[in-house]
Amino acid sequence: MKTIEYVILTVILSLVVFQTSAAAQTPNPTLYVIVQHTDDSPAYNANYDRIQQDIMSRYTKNTKVVFISYDVTNDAMTANLKGDFDWYAVYNAAYANNGEEGIIIMDPASKQVISRYNLDAGTKDILKSIAEGSQMIARSNQ
């Protein structure tokens, strides 16, 4: 009987240690990039597709920059994050944007909006703003 108890205790401790180390390896996001969109027009769909291909795809391995796709038509949110994100802050930022389509770059800790863009903004401008926002937040966290 003691052997079974020992095995169960060992398994439980192993799971706790494994889960703690996995949580320590998951970095906290340093930047939210909220992409508000709707399926109302082909022009918006084309811009959203461009943003997915030219911008979001560049950050697929960077877990510090979280892209949150917010569909204005049905309030659906999806994110490239394995854990939870502050959907309330995202919703408030989107609401402050009057529910219009666009891109909001935000500090997830302070909830401060760093910049806003229309969906038809240039790819280079958006990428530059994401890089500058990440650097600004990294400097403030030092």
92 lies in some domain: yes
Computed over every residue of the chain, the mean pLDDT equals 77
Identify whether 16 is part of a domain.
no
Is 17 domain-assigned?
no
pLDDT of amino acid 54: 93
Residue 64's CATH number: 3.40.30.10
* Residue 73 structural domain: 31-140
Give the lowest-confidence range in 5-19, 29-43, 67-81, 107-121. Answer: 5-19
What per-residue confidence (pLDDT) applies to 45? Answer: 84
User: Residue 77: what pLDDT?
Assistant: 74
Would you say residue 94 lies in a domain? yes
For 93, residues 6+ apart whose C-beta sits below 8 A from its C-beta are 34, 104, 106, 111, 113
- Give yes or no for residue 56 having a pLDDT over 50: yes
pLDDT of residue 29: 76
